[in-house]
Amino acid sequence: MWVLRGLRNGVVTTRWPAKPDPYADEWRGPATVLDGGRGTAGERGTAGERGTADRLDQLCPTGAIDQREDGGVTLDQGKCICCGRCVTARPELFGWARGPASGALTRGGLVVPEIAETDEDLAQMRASLRGRTRALGRSVHLRHVDAGSDGSEEWELQALLNPVYDVHRLGVFFTASPRHADVLIVTGAGTRGMAEPLRLTYQGMPDPKIVIAAGTDAVSGGLLADSYATRGGIGEILPVDVWVPGSPPSPFSLLHALLLGLGRLPDRQSAEVTP
């Protein structure tokens, strides 16, 4: 039965990133700002004219939306929990990013429209990261730590091991020991009780090593940011090399983050935007 099923289905493993994958390109990412957030002042009006409920900065439960003094709007994808309230309320201003390229090498790189960062700074950061990871070669071991996740990111990480994504084909393997790990991928909001275990895990990893904050909770703390039990993401605990938004991020986004951290992809590839 299994032999016949295998012959009928053929090879199901994606060829991404070596070859384009329509499924990856159509994957819905975090919310984004359409048309660069320009020309919104006239539509928005003042709080007194449209009421407090219509203020853009109050549409998001995590405070990801910010109204600039020039009348434009910025959205921090690192705080976006993908609830869609902004897209539903103001579809002419907010839409969904598409594709796997959601990760960034800097925390500020998750703010859209993008905050101005010089090409020299980004090139220097990429060169530094590439220099650190060059010694890893083509065989990389990954250690995952749950620092207060709701479990959704873990499902996506587990999917990397199935026949569709097959992270082993890229030379990436999970390990149970930080002593054997090259990459530390952290999920969860960074609970205060996990701060010391995270530090010990990081200290137990050999150099060179990279840290990936996977998911909105790990990036910014999400809905539980700066509460009595959690911090504002893991950036307050560990030095983060790659920031991956999403609640949760897709397996393709996690693959992109891994390859980005290993210097096998350019930073922040352009992603399609749809209303």
- The model's pLDDT over 72-85, given as tens digits with 9 standing for 90+, comes to 899 999 999 999 99
Least confident stretch, 91-105, 240-254, 256-270: 256-270
Mean pLDDT of 86-107: 92
CB 84 within 8 A of CB 236: no
Residues carrying CATH 3.30.70.20, the chain = 25-98
Interatomic CA distance for residues 271 and 265, integer angstroms: 14
Interatomic CA distance for residues 243 and 216, integer angstroms: 9
CB 190 within 8 A of CB 230: yes
Does residue 122 have a pLDDT over 60?
Answer: yes
The string of pLDDT tens digits covering residues 187-237 is: 999 999 999 999 999 999 998 899 999 999 999 999 988 888 898 899 999
Does residue 269 have a pLDDT over 60?
Answer: no
Residues carrying CATH 3.40.50.12280, the chain = 107-267
Mean pLDDT of 94-112: 92
Angle subtended by helix axes 251-261 and 152-159, to nearest 10? 70
Q: What is the pTM of this model?
A: 0.86
**pLDDT range class, residue 131, cuts 50, 70, 90:** low
The matching CATH number, chosen from 3.30.70.20, 1.10.3470.10, 2.30.40.10, 3.40.50.720, for 25-98 is 3.30.70.20
pLDDT of the residue at 116: 56
Interatomic CA distance for residues 135 and 12, integer angstroms: 32
Interatomic CA distance for residues 20 and 125, integer angstroms: 27
- CATH 3.40.50.300 is held by the domain 107-267: no
- What is the number of H-type helices and E-type strands within the chain? 10, 11
Mean pLDDT of 131-140: 74
CB 124 within 8 A of CB 159: no
Segments in 205-266 forming alpha helices (H): 216-220, 251-261
Interatomic CA distance for residues 65 and 208, integer angstroms: 36
